[in-house]
Amino acid sequence: MRTLHPFLRVLCVASLGLAGLTTTTAARADDETELAELLSENVVSGASRTHEIASDAPATTSTITAKDIRRYGIRSIAEAINFLGMGLVTQNPLHSVEVAGRGVLLTADFGNHVLLVVDGHVFNEPWDGTAYLEQGAAIPMEIIDHIELVLGPGSVLYGGNAMFGVVNVVTKRPASYSGVHVVGEFGASPQHGKGGTFTSFAPGDLGRSYRLATGVGHELTLFGKPAQITAQLELYQQDGPSFEWGPQPATTDTGAPKNFGKRTPLGTWGGRSQRQYATTVPALYTRLAWGDFTVAARVASYNRSTPYVNGFNQFRGDFDEPQNRERDRWISVDVQHRGRLGSRLTTLVRAYADTYDYRQDLIVSEPTDCSVTSAGQCLQSALGRSRWVGTELQANYDWRGDERLTTMVGVDGRVREVGGQTDVRDSATRILLGTLGQRDVRQFVWAAYAQQRYSPFSILHLNGGVRLDTDPRAGNRVSPRAAMALDAWRGGVLKTIYSEAFRAPTFYELYYEDSGQLPASGLRSEVVRGVEATVEQKIGQHRFLMGGFRTSWRNMVYLGAADNGLIQYQNAASIENYGYNARADGGFGDFTYGLSVTGAHSRRKTPDGTEALPAAPQFYGNARVAYDLPGSWPTVALATSFVGRRPADRINDGGFAVPPYAPAEVELRLTLSDRVPGFRDLSYRLATSYVTASRSPYVAGPTQYVDPAAPGPSPVAELAPVNRLTTFLTLQYDFSP
């Protein structure tokens, strides 16, 4: 019998060995891929107020992690939304940001169409429904574990304001924030000139921001029970950069030159603003978990000045006047207890209390702009205040004990006291000249909700819910939702969702009045109905999503003409909107990527006709890549946020001969982050942000409206500038146990 040549024998053995190794290697690679896929599965709690895999949730969600917040140089919830989220986008008018959802933006709403929830506590306050998403949210970013963006009408479990959706913030527990942490951050921007040019990089001309923070995370035993505490105290301060404005000529109704204070010539608004663009936010957030109790508290203040007269919050006021400023203050406490009755019934009892006040001071040198007759310069102060205390009871019953058929029912009741007024004082003597629109109301508001979740098969997840809200301001509202998620094939999920949401008119919309505006006590709630369908595919760590949506908005509150030439909030508008969302994200080893895009078509119908939504971007999204360089090299991350061309806020009612549009805009942020070499517990984050556009979609200055009958050439709308270049450095020292 012939035998194999020794060389061939070795070759055969080697081939078999290689085949085995390859198979084993491939199998191991498969295991790693599948493990990584499981560990990249998002678990969300905001959509159904139950922890579940995102693909099973009755909403389209996107999750922004603490790691990505740090890696991409994110400094606020608004930036997280713009650079890392899907479906929502914010715009910065050099004031608190305005938020848009799926192509719908309602200017001057101060965030009252999106619900901000932090650790289960709703942050929207009842005076004007405001939720801030920039640094004014007063939630230290280092303490955030993750942010869930729950898109679409979401009143079914949360009540009013959740019309664009819910921004659900979950803070860290000590396991991921252990020890004491000290943070210092410094940022700078150059002086800006006309047309978005950079006119000076001299140190004395730079705009600056500072942030100092100290945080703690600790596990302990308290009165014999395990306890966990996380807390962060911080101070954020920003001053500038300075911008150049106008000049815009302005006269009174009698043709006399208007007085905008001592920093601009009489009859002219404009020049370089150097004193009226600043922000200060001291904030403390803490969360204590003790046994079955969780206590969260926030104490914060948001002080800011906006450098220009505009059409959304500052209709009058002197130019570059540092006393023109706003201030919000909050104290919030939330106590939750999770209990169990038997093996199938869980309970949540929550008690909460908040106090809030708002103040806007405006120095007005033009007596005809003072709401009360004034001989000279007046100080006009808009004041708002609210306090509310409430309790929520929730029960969740697992009928079969396997979490596939569960019923949640809940009731939420609160007492709120809301008030407001406008005081006009002599600015020199501070003598009160008059008070307008003073009103204080105490109201009881309650709601009841129910949600049924059913998975008849492991691949099918059904969710139906309804909520009844009673609100003395606008009557009762019922908000339903029905959703289905089908695991149609391996890694593939099909979802369809129908949902509704509402927003009751705010105290401000109902009762505010001044010399030019009437109160509107007959307002009804705004309502949105939405339907959407999505397809999601997971391949290893890579996820892809594509979906379409359609929404219909009714009873939209709209500042329209009333009697005698005055204005008044009215339910006079409706919006029709449809579009698509798409998203892709994933990673290859140390390289991660993500991108999202939203395209929409939105039209508003008012008594004046059908029109585009002012300032609402119809095409926007983001893209990002990051790479953990090997060894002692840093992580490099590049994030971009883009917004398409969009009409300015006065496009429909400004009467400008050339309709004002803001150009398309791309913001690029490059971030380097790592441990400081040689310092184990000291880390840094160095970032630069550059914006391609020079103008935002907000008309600036007293020329907000053009009289078509006025002689002479029609003025061009001046659009507010954009801070185009910022560089900042963050250092964090971690005293770990």
Partner 1 sequence: MRSGRRTWLGLMLSGATLLVAGTARADASVPHQLQAQLVGKLASFDRNFQTRAAGTARILVVRKAGDAESARVADNLARALVALRQVGGMPTQVDVEAFPGAPGLAERCRAGKIAIVFFSTGLEGEMAAAGAALAGADILTVGTTASDASRGAVVAFDLEEGRAKIVVNLARARAQNVSFKAELLKLSRIVG
For 550-563, give the DSSP string. Answer: EEEEEEEEEEEE-G
Stretch that binds partner 1, among 29-37, 86-94, 119-127, 559-567 (CB under 8 A): 29-37
CB of 638 to partner 1, least distance (A): 21
For 628-668, give the DSSP string. Answer: E-STTPPEEEEEEEEE--EE-TTTTTS--SS--EEPPEEEE
Is residue 657 within the footprint of partner 1 (CB under 8 A)? no
Is 8 or 35 the residue whose CB approaches partner 1 more closely? Answer: 35
Indicate the pairing of strand 517-518 with strand 567-588.
Answer: parallel
Is 458 or 564 the residue whose CB approaches partner 1 more closely? Answer: 458
Is residue 65 within the footprint of partner 1 (CB under 8 A)? yes
CB–CB of 60/50 below 8 Å? Answer: no
The single residue among 1, 39, 431, 658 that binds partner 1, judged by CB under 8 A, is 39
The single residue among 252, 303, 443, 515 that binds partner 1, judged by CB under 8 A, is 443
Taking only Cα atoms into account, the Rg of the chain, rounded to an integer number of angstroms, comes to 28
> Which amino acid type is present at position 632?
S
Half-sphere exposure of 312 (CA within 13 A, CB side): 25
Is residue 218 within the footprint of partner 1 (CB under 8 A)? no
Is 176 or 610 the residue whose CB approaches partner 1 more closely? Answer: 176
**What are residue 489's DSSP bridge partners?**
492
Binding mask 258-277 for partner 1 (x = CB under 8 A): --------------------
Is 290 or 580 the residue whose CB approaches partner 1 more closely? Answer: 290
2 contact partners, CB below 8 Å, separation of at least 6: none
CA distance 106 to 317: 24
Is 44 or 94 the residue whose CB approaches partner 1 more closely? Answer: 44
Is residue 20 within the footprint of partner 1 (CB under 8 A)? no
Q: Which residue from 559, 554, 557, 553 is spatially nearest to 571, judged by alpha carbons?
A: 557
Is 28 or 601 the residue whose CB approaches partner 1 more closely? Answer: 28
Stretch that binds partner 1, among 183-191, 266-274, 438-446, 495-503 (CB under 8 A): 438-446
CA distance 295 to 119: 10
CB of 446 to partner 1, least distance (A): 8
Half-sphere exposure of 700 (CA within 13 A, CB side): 26
Stretch that binds partner 1, among 47-55, 565-573, 601-609, 683-691 (CB under 8 A): 47-55
Stretch that binds partner 1, among 32-40, 94-102, 153-161, 571-579 (CB under 8 A): 32-40
Coil/strand/helix, residue 327? strand
CB–CB of 448/410 below 8 Å? Answer: yes
Is residue 53 within the footprint of partner 1 (CB under 8 A)? yes
For 696-710, give the DSSP string. Answer: EEEEBSS-----TTS
CB of 168 to partner 1, least distance (A): 10
Is 76 or 314 the residue whose CB approaches partner 1 more closely? Answer: 76
Is 441 or 682 the residue whose CB approaches partner 1 more closely? Answer: 441
Binding mask 160-199 for partner 1 (x = CB under 8 A): ----------x----xx-----------------------
Coil/strand/helix, residue 31? helix
Is 31 or 440 the residue whose CB approaches partner 1 more closely? Answer: 31
Number of residues interacting with partner 1: please give it, by CB under 8 A: 56
Q: Is the dihedral of CA 652, 655, 657, 663 positive or negative?
A: negative
CB–CB of 171/285 below 8 Å? Answer: yes
Is 67 or 194 the residue whose CB approaches partner 1 more closely? Answer: 67
Long-range contacts of 190-194 (CB under 8 A, 24+ apart): 190/241, 190/725, 191/240, 191/241, 191/242, 192/241, 192/242, 192/243, 192/244, 192/721, 192/723, 192/724, 193/244, 194/244
CA distance 517 to 129: 20
CB of 81 to partner 1, least distance (A): 16
Q: Extract the tokens encoding 374.
A: 């004034």
CB of 53 to partner 1, least distance (A): 6
Indicate the pairing of strand 591-606 with strand 619-628.
Answer: antiparallel
Is residue 590 within the footprint of partner 1 (CB under 8 A)? no
CA distance 160 to 112: 9
Start-to-end CA span in the chain (Å): 73
* Residue position matching structure tokens 């009697």: 563
Q: Extract the tokens encoding 723.
A: 């801070």
For 408-443, give the DSSP string. Answer: EEEEEEEEEEEEEEEEEEETTT--EEEEEEEEEEEE
CB of 95 to partner 1, least distance (A): 31
Which residues in 261-324 belong to E strands, given as ranges?
A: 268-273, 278-290, 293-305
Is residue 40 within the footprint of partner 1 (CB under 8 A)? yes
Is residue 457 within the footprint of partner 1 (CB under 8 A)? no
Site for partner 1 in 384-413 (CB under 8 A): 389-391, 393, 398, 401-403, 413
The single residue among 67, 194, 262, 601 that binds partner 1, judged by CB under 8 A, is 67
Is 274 or 346 the residue whose CB approaches partner 1 more closely? Answer: 346
> Which amino acid type is present at position 273?
S
Half-sphere exposure of 274 (CA within 13 A, CB side): 8
The single residue among 9, 194, 442, 601 that binds partner 1, judged by CB under 8 A, is 442
Is residue 36 within the footprint of partner 1 (CB under 8 A)? yes
Is residue 63 within the footprint of partner 1 (CB under 8 A)? yes
Is 55 or 238 the residue whose CB approaches partner 1 more closely? Answer: 55
Is residue 470 within the footprint of partner 1 (CB under 8 A)? no
Is 41 or 440 the residue whose CB approaches partner 1 more closely? Answer: 41
Is 201 or 489 the residue whose CB approaches partner 1 more closely? Answer: 489
The single residue among 13, 18, 34, 521 that binds partner 1, judged by CB under 8 A, is 34
**What are residue 41's DSSP bridge partners?**
none
Query: How many CB atoms are located within 10 Å of the residue 216 CB?
Result: 18
Stretch that binds partner 1, among 44-52, 158-166, 565-573, 724-732 (CB under 8 A): 44-52
Binding mask 278-297 for partner 1 (x = CB under 8 A): -------------xx-----
Is residue 38 within the footprint of partner 1 (CB under 8 A)? yes
Binding mask 314-353 for partner 1 (x = CB under 8 A): -----------------------xxxxxxxx-xx-x-x--
The single residue among 4, 9, 26, 31 that binds partner 1, judged by CB under 8 A, is 31
Indicate the pairing of strand 114-118 with strand 165-171.
Answer: parallel
Binding mask 518-557 for partner 1 (x = CB under 8 A): ----------------------------------------
CA distance 633 to 673: 9
The single residue among 35, 432, 478, 710 that binds partner 1, judged by CB under 8 A, is 35
Coil/strand/helix, residue 293? strand
10 Å CB burial of residue 227 (0-12, 13-18, 19+) is middle
Query: How many CB atoms are located within 10 Å of the residue 702 CB?
Result: 25
Binding mask 118-157 for partner 1 (x = CB under 8 A): ---------------------------xx-x---------
CB of 267 to partner 1, least distance (A): 53
Contacts with partner 1 by CB under 8 A lie at: 28, 31-32, 34-36, 38-44, 51-53, 63, 65-67, 145-146, 148, 170, 175-176, 226, 291-292, 337-344, 346-347, 349, 351, 389-391, 393, 398, 401-403, 413, 415, 442-444, 446, 458
